[in-house]
Amino acid sequence: VGWKLAAVPQPACLRPALRGSFLQPGLGDEWTIQQWQKEFFYMRKAGIDQMVIQWTADSKSKTTIYPSSLPGYTQNTNHDVVERALRTADAYGAQVYLGLQTNDDWWKRYANDPAWLKKQATVANTLADDLWNRYQGHKSLAGWYLVFEVDNWNENTQTEWERLIDFFQTTAKHLHQLTPGKPV
């Protein structure tokens, strides 16, 4: 028995649904300027015009991926990853969203430690101020990404949810006041 496949009409797609890509800072730190340019060139060819830098600081190790003015923080990358991303995105007409801080303690503390969570909101706001002061001149700086992921398996009480709401509202309110119109 022979099979004959009929051509199935495909719906017209003006643009792929995928518009963005995440970048872990260590990878971007290894790239040359030419590799950054290739990345944005191929992103554009694929219809991707947004990059999210997953995090710009680690509040546990007190490190950043750019030359920060935050007291007690040191840069742990060889290059200013934020500047390289923004400068290249400017040239290619792309958008960059800056992730704020990561901290491995999130996976242990979640919303069970309100003092720690409140401190992380303060760190996020201070970090955003530092990033905005340094990079606000880049037209590609499109918005912000909050790194801490909500885990509804481990965070399942009303109290934990209220703490998370407070954390995200405190940070988002500050970001919206700092950069009106930019998404979080």
Tokens of 161: 């949810």
Query: pLDDT of 97-119, one tens digit each?
Result: 999 999 999 988 888 899 999 99
For residue 155, give Cα distances in angstroms to 60, 75, 118, 121, 161.
21, 32, 16, 18, 7
Average pLDDT rounded to a whole number, residues 46-74? 97
pTM score of the predicted model: 0.89
| Confidence (pLDDT) at 7 | 46
Query: pLDDT of 32-54, one tens digit each?
Result: 999 999 999 999 999 999 999 99
